[in-house]
Chains A and B, each alone.
Chain A
C-alpha cells in the first residue's frame, strides 16, 4: 500500500502543542502520548505569556513560542526578542494585518490559525504568495475540528478548504498540527490524514504537512544550518 510505505520512511512532527504551564499535560507527558501515536517529535509552542525559556525539555520536544501581537510593529519586536531563543517561531494569526506582517518576515516559521476570528478565512492570494516567498508555513490545526461542533466547525473547515486551495496554488509551505492543550487533544497520524481529507487535501498533501514541511522548519533552526543546502558539518577526523 502506498500510504504504508510512505509512512514507514517518514518522521512525523507536531509543531504546535501547548504543554503545562499553558495546557494540562507536562512536555514529557505530551511527548509520551505523541510517540505512541506515531510522532517522532513535538514542539512546545506556548503563547508568549507562558514562555519560560530556561526549563529543560526532554529530547524530542522542541522549544517554540507563539507570539501574540496587537499590530505589525509589536509583532516585529516580538520576533526580535524570541528568534534567537526558539527552534520554532509561530505567530498567533487571525487579524489580517498580523497575518500579512507574519508572512512578510522570513524569520517567522509558522503562521498559526490565520482563520481565527476572521470572516474571509484570513488568507488571500497576496498573503499566500508572501508566505511562499518567505517560507512561512501556514498552520492547519486539528483542534477546532475535534473540539467544536456545528457552526464554528463548519466555518473552520470552509476556511481550511479555501486556504489550502491558495496554499497549493502558490506552493506555500504548510503544517498540520494538533494545537493540543492536553495529551487528550492529540490524535494519531492516520487520523490526522483522515481529517485533512475533509478539507481538500489528499493523502500525500497531508503527509507532507505532517512530515516534510515540519522537518524542513526544524532543519532550518538546527545549529549547523547556514542557508538552503549549506550546513556546517562537525569535523569528525580530528576527534
Chain B
C-alpha cells in the first residue's frame, strides 16, 4: 500500500523520558511498555490509549523517546506519571521534554550528561537519622537496609533512601574504618 502523503499524516510529538527504578538496573523494553500500556489503560481506557497511539522509538534501559499524537501530550504525561512500579519494583518515569521531531528531542533532552555510576556497597552505617546496612550509592543518593523495617512497609520501598548529607563526618570515619577492617 502506498504510504500517506506527509500532509495527510497525523501530527506527532516526541517525548524524551527517563526511567528511575529502585534497584537501579536497566529496564527491559517489554516490561516498560507493558507497564505504560497498563497504566494508560486503567487511567484513560482503551479509547484514550488508542488516541494517544504510543510508539517507543528508542530506549536504552534508562532513557528513551516515546511518540504520541499531537493533541494527547498532556493525557499521556498524566498516564506516564501514574506508573508506580515496573516488574514489581518501584519506578518513576519522568518526561524530560517534548519536541516535534525525534532529532530535536534527542539533541535537546537526551543530553550526553554524566550519569553518576551506581556503586554496590555492603557496610554498616549509622547516621543521625537511621542505622542499617548501606547497599547502593549513586551520586548523592545512598540506599540502606535499615534496622527499622516498619518505615519500608509504610513507604512501600525495598530500601530507606538517604542523601550524602545525612552521613556526617564522624560516620564517614566509621565507614572508612569498616572498609579498612574488611581489607585486613
**Could you list which residues of chain A lie within 8 angstroms of chain B, going by C-beta atoms?**
18, 20-26, 28-32, 37, 55, 58, 142, 145-147, 149-150, 153, 181-188, 190-195, 197-198
Contact = CB atoms under 8 A, between A and B. Distances in A.
B156 interface: yes
10 contacts: A21-B130, A22-B151, A25-B155, A25-B157, A182-B156, A185-B155, A188-B94, A190-B95, A191-B94, A194-B74
B163 A20 contact: no
B94 to A, nearest CB: 6
B154 interface: yes
Contacts of B130: 20-21, 26
B182 interface: no
A164 B78 CA distance: 18
Chain B residues touching A, majority SS: mixed
Query: In which size bucket is the chain B interface?
Result: 35 or more
Nearest to B164: A28
Given A24-B154, A25-B155, A188-B94, 8 more contacts: A21-B148, A24-B151, A24-B157, A26-B160, A26-B161, A28-B163, A31-B163, A194-B74
A27 to B, nearest CB: 8
Contacts of B148: 21
A184 B162 contact: no
Contact of B157 (A18, A26, A147, A184): A184
B109 to A, nearest CB: 13
B162 A21 contact: no
Interface string B128-141: 11100000000011
Contacts of A31: 163
Contacts of A28: 162-163, 165-166
Given A24-B154, A181-B154, A191 B161 contact: no
B51 interface: no
A147 B84 contact: yes
B24 interface: no
A150 B20 CA distance: 25
B121 interface: no
Interface string B149-181: 001101111011111011000000000000000
Given A20-B130, A21-B151, A146-B84, A197 B162 contact: no
Interface in B14-51: 20, 22, 42-43
A9 to B, nearest CB: 19
A123 B103 CA distance: 48
B102 interface: no
